[in-house]
Structure 1
Amino acid sequence: MKTFVAVPVAGFAVDSAARTIEGIAMPYGQTANKYGIQFRFAPGSIKWGDVNRVKLLRDHDIAKPVGKALTLTDTAEGLSVRFRVARGPAGDEALQLAEDGVLDGLSVGVDFGETDSTVDNDG
């Protein structure tokens, strides 16, 4: 199993003919470290508005979306997502790199508010 910031990558799949990428974008209950901060997401902790407004970004670059969400589903395992990849050079490249295993996981971009976090019993 592959990891990014010490969180396993689960269920990543590419369908080039349908131009879709899907997988678990945020596994629940896994502790990750980034910039010296530990965090863990609980089921139901990620909220979004209109699914079609959620974009697939390459390397978290909001100026260069390469697709849009088709489904976002809260599961026991984590946030399961399915994206349609846009036509054109940037989308084609992202799809090819994912199919070739160069890009091989998903990561959410999350904004935290002051009341969005709690300290659990194990710190």
Structure 2
Amino acid sequence: MKVLVVDDSLVMRRIIINHLRSLGYTHILEADSGEKALTILAQDGADLILSDWCMRGMHGIEVLRSVRNNERTRNTPFIMVTAEAQPHLILEAIRAQVSDYVVKPFTRENLRESIDKVLALGQVGG
């Protein structure tokens, strides 16, 4: 399974990637911006996307909308991993068909539960 981690913070990307590796994921791609994430998706694709919301340039919600509006990536599970916990933002992500929403700070177990949930559902907007 190919996982794309999108966050403009190198530290946060390392934390997420380390958690993913400890959970057995080995094919991990990373992007430090929304724009780079879309380029990677166009070139390499991904089976799962974990993205921050608040990034320089293109925000994670814009990445989510682009993913959902692209025929090729439309059904890719997309987990928002963010410190943005305001109810109106969570609702905005749900309306944009986010697969799940993990609020920072989080544990490896939180991440595992979210990934297991979206992969078990086998659908977006869950």
TM bucket, shorter chain: under 0.3
With structure 1 as the length reference, what TM-score do the two structures score? Answer: 0.24
TM (norm. structure 2) is 0.24
Structure possessing the higher relative contact order (Cα contacts under 8 Å, 6 or more residues apart): 1
* Greater strand proportion: 1
Identify the structure with the greater helix proportion.
2
